[in-house]
Structure 1
Amino acid sequence: MAQNTNQADAVDETDRVRTAPANGKVAVVTGAGSGIGRAVARELIAAGWHVALAGRRPEALDETARPFGSLGTNGPAVAPVPTDVTRPDEVDALFAAVRDRFGRLDLLFNNAGTFGRPGPLEDISYEDWRAVVDVNLTGSFLCAQAAFRAMKEQDPQGGRIINNGSVSAHVPRPHSVAYTATKHAMTGLTKSLSLDGRPYRIACGQIDIGNAATEMTGRMQTGILQANGGTAVEPVMDATDVARTVLHMASLPLEANVQFATVMATAMPYIGRG
């Protein structure tokens, strides 16, 4: 349901983009083949950004780009680049492709992530743990490192990195040890990037999202385990509302930064969770 909503929104946004020239700014969006990544990529394109779409599934990246396929030569460029963010060679190839195609990088939306297999802590296997850590934390680090290098070396120097955290960067759900640990670690990554980026005009912020309607959150609409041991259906929000927030963060001058932003379904059980 959420995917269909996002696609309908994107078709409307394409009409708007056709009347606006590209703004010259270049973004990389990871996890761009679905969910939050797809919504953010389409919002950036609609605002005139050139966008490299990164993700493991080429067909999903093509679907994200599909509504913008008929843009004129003065419109923003959309470049699907199949990438597994857990592989350093593929991350290097992604950012090399962006450099060769566009000549610079203004924004990384570090979004690729997975919840992993939920279950009691004692039942989580090493393989389950590694699968989540490799994507959510190591993949985010590799992309941030490559973006940092590009932004430091380019002229004019600087750029912005926005990490996709989660409300789980603050409070956990039951049976989510790997996801929660990586999202807490994302906050540390954000803070370190912010500090280390200061001398080079590299800004870094984090968006913590709660219950956006995507493929990952489908079970929240049928009933999900709560801290008291029961299950409950939870409210969700449109992923487009997250995308608009990312666009605002991305559009600020580098002299200003949204360090942390929380965007959540108003009535979800977050305040008071547990």
Structure 2
Amino acid sequence: MAQNTQPRKVAVVTGAGSGIGRAVAHALIAADWNVVLAGRRAEALEETARLYGQADGTTGADGATGADAGAGINGITIMPVPTDVTRPAEVDALFAAVHDRFGQLDLLFNNAGTFGPPAPLDELSYDDWRAVVDVNLTGSFLCAQAAFRTMKAQDPQGGRIINNGSISAHVPRPHSIAYTATKHAMTGLTKSLSLDGRPYRIACGQIDIGNAATEMTGRMQTGILQANGQTAVEPVMDAADVARTVVHMAGLPLAANVQFATVMATNMPYIGRG
């Protein structure tokens, strides 16, 4: 049997320390990708790596490298890079570390996000609004911009960006104006990236996720406020179901693109919500 001589593809996953990010990182590793794990908490990134069956050191966004940083299994590299996506210098350092280690970037899964405290619109503080916007929108832009620059400059040119939207990119929940506004904005970011990336073989798509079982959705399993003012338990799905969809989107040739995909718990209140 002929051996595959193509270099292993390289992905950056933000928000990789838990939830959807961790599930997607594990699915990409299983699909034979080198994966760079980005997130604010070094310990959580290391746990993501360990849970796949190996222990790593840590490569920080400041360039500091542990003795075993980036070690992997079966020839796959799993490289944690602690990064605050709201800080431009740390985002630049993240993608510089990717370039220095691999010399290429094939995928950014732009996943880091926060819901923020649920609050009536008139009671939401400026600081809480700003914190959600900084992570969900500005952080996503900074990572997409850095990935775009890398993909445009590399040879061969091109790559793929997959943004984590949300069901909230379509319809809101009560008391979620900051999260909903940023997720609607994510759709505009996706469309602009798709258009601006065309000349450079940079594809961009968005996955809108509804009720995956993660830390962020814990309230849904105990009861969450509905549009009619009642509180109800909502169905959830396994985060691995989302991860399989991301891997499919990531694995397409650059001549093809899933522009938008919605993956949700089948019986969640989405159709007819709002």
Deviation at 1:69, TM superposition (A): 1.5
> Using a 3 Å threshold, how does the CA distance of structure 1 residues 72 and 106 change in structure 2: closer, same or farther?
closer
Question: Which residue is equivalent to 2:203?
Answer: 203
1:63 aligns with 2:47: yes
Kindly indicate which of the two structures has a greater share of residues assigned to helix: 1
1:273 aligns with 2:258: no
Question: Which residue is equivalent to 1:160?
Answer: 160
> Using a 3 Å threshold, how does the CA distance of structure 1 residues 174 and 44 change in structure 2: closer, same or farther?
same
Runs of 4+ in 1 over 6 A off after TM superposition: 70-73
Specify which of 38, 46, 51 is matched with residue 22 of structure 2: 38
Deviates more, 1:67-76 or 1:22-31: 67-76
Deviation at 1:73, TM superposition (A): 6.2
2: CA distance, partners of 1:113 / 1:22: 33
Pairing 1:93-104 to 2, within 5 Å after superposition: 93-104=93-104
1: CA distance, partners of 2:31 / 2:99: 21
2: CA distance, partners of 1:88 / 1:44: 26
Question: Which residue is equivalent to 2:132?
Answer: 132
Deviation at 1:72, TM superposition (A): 6.4
Structure 2's unaligned 5+ residue stretches are 56-70
2: CA distance, partners of 1:22 / 1:238: 32
Deviations 1:83-127 (A, max 9, x none): 000000000000000000011000000000000011100000110
Question: Which residue is equivalent to 2:63?
Answer: none
Is the CA contact (8 Å cut-off) linking 1:214 and 1:239 kept in structure 2? yes
% of aligned pairs identical?
Answer: 84
Deviations 1:5-41 (A, max 9, x none): xxxxxxxxxxxxxxx9996100000000000000000
Specify the SS of the correspondent of 1:86.
coil
Is the CA contact (8 Å cut-off) linking 2:54 and 2:73 kept in structure 1? no
Deviations 1:185-232 (A, max 9, x none): 000000000000000000000000000000000000000000000000
Specify the SS of the correspondent of 1:42.
helix
> Using a 3 Å threshold, how does the CA distance of structure 1 residues 124 and 157 change in structure 2: closer, same or farther?
same
> Using a 3 Å threshold, how does the CA distance of structure 1 residues 72 and 144 change in structure 2: closer, same or farther?
closer
1:261 aligns with 2:261: yes
2: CA distance, partners of 1:69 / 1:204: 31
2: CA distance, partners of 1:109 / 1:60: 18
2: CA distance, partners of 1:141 / 1:165: 13
Is the CA contact (8 Å cut-off) linking 1:23 and 1:48 kept in structure 2? no
Deviations 1:62-93 (A, max 9, x none): 00000242786642100000000000000000
CA RMSD in angstroms, aligned pairs only = 1.5
2: CA distance, partners of 1:21 / 1:199: 27
2: CA distance, partners of 1:73 / 1:231: 46
Deviations 1:163-197 (A, max 9, x none): 00000000000000000000000000000000000
Specify the SS of the correspondent of 1:98.
helix
Specify the SS of the correspondent of 1:113.
coil
Structure 1 length normalisation: TM-score? 0.91
Question: Which residue is equivalent to 2:236?
Answer: 236
Specify the SS of the correspondent of 1:108.
strand
Question: Which residue is equivalent to 2:38?
Answer: 54
Is the CA contact (8 Å cut-off) linking 1:22 and 1:49 kept in structure 2? no
How many residues matched?
Answer: 255
Structure 2 length normalisation: TM-score? 0.91
Is the CA contact (8 Å cut-off) linking 1:30 and 1:53 kept in structure 2? yes
1: CA distance, partners of 2:6 / 2:221: 38
2: CA distance, partners of 1:74 / 1:154: 26
Amino acid of the structure 1 residue aligned with 2:86: T
Question: Which residue is equivalent to 2:10?
Answer: 26
> Using a 3 Å threshold, how does the CA distance of structure 1 residues 182 and 149 change in structure 2: closer, same or farther?
same
